[in-house]
Structure 1
Amino acid sequence: MTISSLFRAVCLALAAAACALPAQAGSSAASSASSAGAASSGSISDSIGASSDSSGDDKKVAAGEYRVIDIAQAPGKRETTRLTLRAANGARAFTLDVPDRALAQRAVRKDELIRVNERDYGYEFAHADTRQSFFLALQDGWYRDLASHKVAI
Structure 2
Amino acid sequence: MISSRLSRVLGPGLLAAACALPAHADSVASSASSAGSASSASVSDSIGGSSNSSSGDRRVAGGQYRVIDIAQAPGKAGKTRLTLRAVAEGPVREFFLDLPERALTERAVAKGAVVQVNERAYGYEFAHADTQRPFFLALHDDWYRELASRPVTI
What TM bracket, shorter-length normalisation? Answer: 0.7 to 0.9
Q: Distance in 1 between matches of 2:151 and 2:79?
A: 26
Indicate conservation of the 8 Å contact 1:44/1:137, yes or no. yes
Structure having the larger proportion of residues in helix? 1
- 1:140 corresponds in structure 2 to 141
- 1:64 corresponds in structure 2 to 63
AA at the equivalent of 2:59: K
Larger Rg belongs to:
1
Indicate conservation of the 8 Å contact 1:44/1:59, yes or no. no
Q: Distance in 1 between matches of 2:59 and 2:94?
A: 11
1:75 and 2:74 aligned: yes
The CA deviation at 1:135 is 0.4
- 2:152 corresponds in structure 1 to 151
1:85 partner SS: strand
- 2:101 corresponds in structure 1 to 100
Number of aligned positions between the proteins: 116
Q: Distance in 2 between matches of 1:103 and 1:52?
A: 25
Question: Could you state the TM-score of these two structures normalised by the residue count of structure 2?
Answer: 0.72
Q: Distance in 2 between matches of 1:150 and 1:141?
A: 19
1:142 partner SS: helix
AA at the equivalent of 1:46: D
Moved more, 138-147 or 89-98: 89-98
The CA deviation at 1:112 is 0.2
1:69-116 Cα distance to aligned partner (Å, 9 max, x none): 000000000100000000002620000001001111011100000000
Q: Distance in 1 between matches of 2:51 and 2:81?
A: 13
List structure 1 runs of 4+ shifted beyond 6 angstroms. none
Q: Distance in 2 between matches of 1:104 and 1:148?
A: 24
1:35-71 Cα distance to aligned partner (Å, 9 max, x none): x62x211111110001121242x33111100000000
- 1:128 corresponds in structure 2 to 129
Q: Distance in 2 between matches of 1:95 and 1:132?
A: 20
Q: Distance in 2 between matches of 1:59 and 1:101?
A: 25
Q: Distance in 2 between matches of 1:152 and 1:77?
A: 34
1:118 and 2:119 aligned: yes
Q: Please, which runs of 5 or more residues in structure 2 have no aligned partner?
A: 1-35
Question: Could you state the TM-score of these two structures normalised by the residue count of structure 1?
Answer: 0.72
